Structures are given as C-alpha cells and as structure tokens.
Amino acid sequence: MYRRYLLALASAVTVLCPLAAGAAEPIKIGFPIPLSGATAVYGVPVLEGAQLAVAQINAKGGVLGRKLEILARDSKANADEAVRLARELIIRDGVNFLAGTLTSAEAPAVSTVAKENKIVFIAPTSETIRLTDPQNIHPYIFRATSNTDVEGLASAQLMAKWKNVKTVATIGPDYAYGRDVTAAFVADLKKLRPDIKIVDQQWPKLGEADFTSFITAQMGAHPDAIYCSLFAGDFVTFAKEAESLGDFKAIHNRFIDSGAVGATDEAKALGKDYPLGILVNTFDPVIWSGGHEPAAHKKYIAALRAFTHQKYPSSLSIQGYIAIEALADGLRQAGSINSDKVSKAMIGMTFDTPIGTRTFSVASHETFSPEFWGVMVKEAAYPFAVMKNPVLLPRNFPATN
C-alpha cells in the first residue's frame, strides 16, 4: 500500500511539473514582418533567413540550454500595424525579444515600443538614419545592417565615375528611406562632382500602383542619368513601365538603384523584363558571377537551399539570418535573457556572418555593412539576370564608434 502511495505521488508530481529541467520554455522572439503586399517579396525571405538561423541554433542545443522560437506576424509594411503587433507579442505572447520589420517606417515605430518595454529589438533591414540617430538611440535598439548615409555614399561614388554625366534625376519612395538615402546621395555627389546638376526629383508613395506619370515627367527633364531608390514590388512595376516607355534607353542605361534590386528576388520576379546593364546593389548576390565567394557563404547558401527547397534562394534571407545570429551571440555573452544584460553585451560586440565580421557601434548600435554592387547581366547558365563581379561598397565610412 505504501508503494502504491509513492507511485501515485510520483505521478502527481509528473502532472503538476511538466516542465522539468532540460525542457525549459523556449526563448521567444517576436518577428513582425511584411508577409503580404508589394514588400512581401523581401519580407518573406527575411523571415526564412531568421528561421534557418533558429533551426541551426536549436539543432546544436539552443542558447543557454533553451531553444529559440520565432513568433512571426504580418506587419503589411504598415508602421501602425507593426506597433500593434509588437505590443501584442510582448503583452499577450510574452516574447523575450523583438526582431524583424522591413521598412524604414516600421522599424522606428517598433523601436519606440522596445524602449517603452525595455526589450531588445534588432532591425535586420531598415536603413533610415532616424532609427539610431542621437535623438532616437536607446539601449534596446540594434540594427543588423548599415544606414542610408552609407548607401547614399556608395551610390554617389559610382555615379561620380560617369564623366559624361552632367545632369541627374532622382526617384524614390516618399517616406523615410527614400528621402534619407536620396538626401545622402545628393549631398555626397555634390562633394564628389560639383559640376553635376540635379534636374528633377520624383516622390511616388510606397506601394504606388502606376509609375507612368512619374516616369514621363522625369523623362521630360532629359537627365543624363537617374538615381533610384525604389525597391521590392515597386521596382518590379517601375522597371516594366520604364522599359516600355524607353526610359532606360534614353539615358543609355546610366541608372543606379540602391534599393537592393540586385537581389535574386527582383531578378526572378522580372525575368526577361529585367533592365540589363543597370548598376544596382544587394545584401547578398547569392550567385557570385565572376566573384570570389567566401567559404562561409557557400556553406550558408547550401543550408538555405536545403531549408527553402529553392535552387536560387533569396538575397534578403541573409539579413534575417544575421539578426538572429547576432542576438544569439548577445545571449551567450550576457549569459542571460535579461534585456538589460543582453544590451550591454551587444554594444560594441563583434560577431561573425557568412559575408564577414560585423560590429555593433558603441555610439549608434548599428553595423557598418557595405553592400554588394555590380552591373546586372544575362548569363546562359541562369534563367534570370545576375550581378557581374559583385564588389563591396563603400570601402570605408567615417567611424561611428
């Protein structure tokens, strides 16, 4: 009878304590990101990159003896929706950290939520300088990419090399990213080539359905070259319309776009309609046409192919991957999931990525992350345009530490 009592007691303990040591609750990461609409072409792969990183980390035992778990939500590239989701993830779902968002409208808005709730937030792609400038920096915001000043400088350096260009027009989305990167481009171009004149600037809204009026107005200014910061689905729509109107031909393909449109995502979406010969950037070429691919990147791409079941996976996935890897490193160094401790560990932290080491600036909590630039060409081996000889630019930038 005493034995039956012990067995019953053991069963009761098992029922009442289902979370034994070794079965600790996962570390939850809230991940608002556009999963629908024109920007989903970037948002979905960013999430997939983050999910790959989590899968790899968990396969090795997780972090601090606990698995990582991503709670993804569709922000629709809307700042208000991203804020609502971030608050819901913190209050209702009890996430330990925030990552994600895509645009330069979402990330600053979610950063405010992170500050209010004292929870670390890592933005994988947002580049507006407003996210981490002196007025908006706080202990809990981190950026796993560079900013619009860095991207604008690279664009200006490339434009300045075209000696026969004397007049330039710009077109970019009318919100933080487009305004900030264009301002940086113009300021740097004036320093590098004071002889160049900006003759026209167009500002379509993010998610514009028809760029015809903007294109025709710009063509009327007869620029020698165009600087563009349209991206994702907006660039796909723009490129098709610009090609049909003869825009690229009129400027002899002297067209630079800083919106990561050298991505495989854009190339596959446009197919035969991709405007060959334009100069663009990307976070990750994926296909290193003529370039020297790092061994770490080859390993990452092999894993991404297996994870996504895509022969030619996304160029954007690496940003989600880097964000999660950085957070995991911060957790290991802090030895805790407390955001104050993790924040202190991440400020100034150097960490590895498939495309080289990155360091979070002590001053701005962002990483200097030059992007890959090159001319888009058609090669017989691939069913879409690829970047020829990708080069990291700019080579350096004034220190922000």
pLDDT in tens, 328-374: 999 999 999 999 999 999 999 999 999 999 999 999 999 999 999 99
Distance CA 353, CA 325 (A): 8
Q: In this prediction, what percent of the chain has a pLDDT beyond 70?
A: 93
Distance CA 383, CA 312 (A): 10
pLDDT at 291: 65
pLDDT at 215: 98
Which residue, among 327, 314, 209, has the nearest Cα to 269 in the 3D structure?
314
Which residue, among 66, 75, 24, 33, has the nearest Cα to 51 in the 3D structure?
33
pLDDT at 144: 96
Confidence of residue 204 (pLDDT cuts 50, 70, 90): very high
pLDDT at 398: 67
Confidence of residue 396 (pLDDT cuts 50, 70, 90): confident
Contacts of 4 (CB under 8 A, 6+ apart): none
Distance CA 62, CA 339 (A): 18
| Cα 85 to chain centroid, rounded | 19
- Provide the residue count of the chain: 401
59 within 8 A of 67, measured Cβ to Cβ: no
Confidence of residue 289 (pLDDT cuts 50, 70, 90): confident
Task: Using CB atoms within 10 Å of the CB of residue 190, give its burial: 0 to 12 exposed, 13 to 18 middle, 19+ buried.
Answer: middle
- pLDDT tens digits, residue range 335-347? 999 999 999 999 9
Contacts of 16 (CB under 8 A, 6+ apart): none
- pLDDT tens digits, residue range 259-285? 999 999 999 999 999 999 999 999 999
pLDDT at 11: 43
Look at residue 201 and give its three-state secondary structure. strand
291 within 8 A of 390, measured Cβ to Cβ: yes
Confidence of residue 160 (pLDDT cuts 50, 70, 90): very high
Q: Is residue 15's pLDDT more than 90?
A: no
- How far from each other are the two terminal CA atoms of the chain, in whole angstroms? 71
Task: Using CB atoms within 10 Å of the CB of residue 301, give its burial: 0 to 12 exposed, 13 to 18 middle, 19+ buried.
Answer: buried
pTM for this model (two decimals): 0.92
Mean pLDDT of 138-164: 96
Q: Say if residue 394 is preceded by a cis peptide, omega within 30 of 0.
A: yes
Contacts of 343 (CB under 8 A, 6+ apart): 120, 139, 140, 330
Q: Is residue 12's pLDDT more than 50?
A: no
- DSSP H or E stretch at residue 356: strand 356-359
pLDDT at 140: 98
Q: Is residue 150's pLDDT more than 90?
A: yes
Residue type, 132: T
- pLDDT tens digits, residue range 23-44? 689 999 999 999 999 899 999 9
Q: Answer yes or no: same fold for 27-145+298-359 and 149-282+371-393.
A: yes
Q: Is residue 399's pLDDT more than 90?
A: no
C-alpha to C-alpha distances, 294 to 84, 144, 301, 354, 355, nearest whole angstrom: 40, 20, 11, 8, 7
Domain limits, the chain: 27-145+298-359, 149-282+371-393
Q: Is residue 18's pLDDT more than 90?
A: no
Q: Quickly tell me which residue has 């039956």 as its tokens.
A: 4
Specify the CATH superfamily of domain 149-282+371-393. Answer: Response regulator (3.40.50.2300)
The average confidence (pLDDT) of the chain is 93
pLDDT at 335: 98
Fold (topology level) of 27-145+298-359:
Rossmann fold (3.40.50)
